[in-house]
Amino acid sequence: MEIKITKASTLKEKPDSSALGFGKIFTDHMFMMDWNDEKGWSNARIVPFENISLHPASTVLHYGSEIFEGLKAYRRKDGKVQLFRPIENIRRMNRSAERLCLPQIPEEDALQILKTFVGVEQDWTPSAEGTSLYLRPFMFGNDESLGVHAVHNATYVIIASPVGSYYKEGINPVKIMIEDEDVRAVRGGTGYAKCGGNYAASNRAGQRAEQKGYSQVLWLDGVERKYIEEVGAMNVMFKIGDEIVTPMLSGSILPGITRMSCLEVLKKQGYKVSERLLSIDELGEALENGTLEEAWGCGTAAVVSPIGELCYKDVKYTINNGEIGKVTQYLYDTLTGIQWGKIEDSFGWTLSIE
C-alpha cells in the first residue's frame, strides 16, 4: 500500500526525559487514512500533527463509534528501536472493529503502516531507563448524519507520545478496591473490544475508588457480581498456593497482550497456570487462610503492577506484606528485559524498526 509522507516544516524540540509523564507530549507527525463502504480504505498519509476537524454530526461524537489500541516502541541499548508483538495489537484491533461494525484493516497493511510511522517518528523514542514511545492507533465512525446504523465512513489515525517510566521510585504495590455496584461489561457486550465506551462506563467507579484512596477498581462480572474480571485497565493474576490463576476470557474481559505474554512466560518456566472462573468467595478464602501469595495487574503501561492491598465491602486485606512477590518480579524482569532488548527474545516477540 502507498503511504504519502508530508514532513512538518519545523520540528518540535524533544522534551527532557524527566518531564515526560504519560500522554501529554506528542510527536511531529500523525498517520491518517479514510474509509468508506464504496471505496474501502484510501488516502493513507503521514502528515504534520494537527487538530482533526469533524462535522458536528460525526457518528463518533454521538454514538461512541470508536476503538483504539495501545503499544510501545522501545529504545534498545544498541540504539535501535523495536516493537513488542505488534501483530497481536493489529489482530485485536480488527476484532474490536468487527464488534463495533467499523472496518477492518488487512494485517499486512496495518503492520506496514505501523512500521512506516514509527520509522518516521523513531527519533522521538527516549532512551532513559523505563521510557518508551507510546503508540495510540484509533479508529472512529465518521458519517455526517445523525441516523443510527453501521457507519459508511470511518477514519483511522495513529498518534505517538514519548512517555516516562511508569515506576520512577521503584515498583510500588497498589491498593485496589473491589467494585460491587457498577460493572464494566457484560457477556455479549463490548468488554472484549478495546473501545472508548467501556472507559466512559467505568469512570464513575474509578473516581469513587480514588476518593477513598485506592488507585483502581477490581471489576466483578456483570451478571452475578461474583466472578473476578479485571482491574481498571489491566488484566489480573493471582498466585494461590502453587497455582497461578487468571480469569478466563469469557467475552467481558479485555484480552490483554501482556496477559497473554505473562501466561506464556509462566508456562515455559513450568508454573501451573489456570485460566478459569475465580469467584470472590474463593479469593476471600485464600486471603483469609493465607494461601493468596501474590496478586498483580498486567498491561502495556505498567507491564506488571503488584497489588499490595485489596478492599472488599470495606474490609481491607494486605497481600504479601504489601510487597512485590517473587513471581511478579520475575515477570517484570523478563518482559521488560525482552521489550528493551536487555535479554534474549527467545519467543520471537520483538520487531525491530529499520
Ligand X SMILES: *Cc1c(COP(=O)(O)O)cnc(C)c1O
Task: Kindly state the number of chain residues that form the binding site for ligand X, as judged by CB under 6 A.
Answer: 13
Q: Which of 155, 190, 215, 300 binds ligand X (CB under 6 A)?
A: 300
In 3D, which of 90, 98, 103 has the Cα closest to residue 142? 103
Please pick, from the candidates 139, 233, 310, 324, the single residue that binds ligand X as defined by CB under 6 A.
Answer: 233
Contacts of 191 (CB under 8 A, 6+ apart): 184, 185, 198, 229, 251, 252, 253, 254
Among 33, 60, 158, 234, interactor with ligand X by CB under 6 A? 234
Of 162, 206, 256, 308, the one binding ligand X (CB under 6 A) is 256
Q: Which residues contact 174 (CB under 8 A, 6 or more apart)?
A: 215, 216, 297, 305, 306, 307, 308, 309
Nearer to ligand X, 175 or 194 (CB): 194
SS3 state of residue 10: coil
- Nearest approach, Cβ of 79 to ligand X (angstroms)? 26
Question: Which CB, 46 or 209, lies closer to ligand X?
Answer: 209
- Choose the stretch contacting ligand X; rule: CB under 6 A; options: 27-35, 119-127, 229-237, 341-349: 229-237
Ramachandran angles phi, psi of 199, nearest 5°: -70, -40
Smallest gap from residue 189 Cβ to ligand X (A): 13
- Is residue 9 classed exposed, middle or buried when 0-12, 13-18 and 19+ CB atoms within 10 A define those classes? exposed
Which amino acid does the sequence have at 350?
A: T
Q: Residue 29 or residue 259: which is nearer to ligand X going by CB?
A: 259
Q: Which stretch binds ligand X (CB under 6 A): 159-167, 207-215, 250-258, 320-328?
A: 250-258
Using the minimum distance from each CB to ligand X, give the nearer residue, 29 or 72: 72
Question: Which is closer to ligand X, CB of 75 or CB of 194?
Answer: 194
Polymer length of the chain: 354
Cβ 338 to ligand X shortest distance, Å: 14
Region near ligand X per CB under 6 A, out of 73-81, 227-235, 319-327, 343-351: 227-235
Give burial (CB, 10 Å; 0-12/13-18/19+) of 18: exposed
Interactions with ligand X, residue window 257-286 (CB under 6 A): 257-259
Instruction: Give the shortest CB-229-to-ligand X separation in angstroms.
Output: 9
Alpha helices, H only, the chain: 59-63, 86-99, 107-121, 196-211, 257-268, 280-288, 326-339
Min separation Cβ 83 and ligand X, Å:
13
* Helix (H) / strand (E) containing 269: none
Q: Which range in 100-108, 158-166, 233-241, 346-354 contacts ligand X by CB under 6 A? A: 233-241
**Among 194, 280, 308, 320, interactor with ligand X by CB under 6 A:** 194
Name which position in 23, 64, 70, 130 contacts ligand X (CB under 6 A): 70
Residue 252 near ligand X by CB under 6 A: no
Q: Is 299 in the site for ligand X (CB under 6 A)?
A: yes
- Give percent helix, percent strand, percent coil of the chain, each to the nearest 5: 25, 30, 40
What's the closest the beta carbon of residue 132 comes to ligand X, in angstroms? 13
Asked if 72 interacts with ligand X (CB under 6 A), we say: no
Stretch that binds ligand X, among 36-44, 228-236, 271-279, 339-347 (CB under 6 A): 228-236
* Burial readout 126-151 (b: 16 or more C-beta within 10 A, e: otherwise): beeebbbbbbbbbbbbbbeeeeeeeb
Q: CB count, 10 Å around CB of 212? A: 10
What DSSP letter does each residue of 158-226 carry, written as one string?
EEEEEE--S-TTS-PPEEEEE-SS--S--TTTTTTS-BHHHHHHHHHHHHHHHHTT-SEEEEE-TTTS-
* Binding interface with ligand X (CB under 6 A): 70, 194, 230, 233-235, 254, 256-259, 299-300
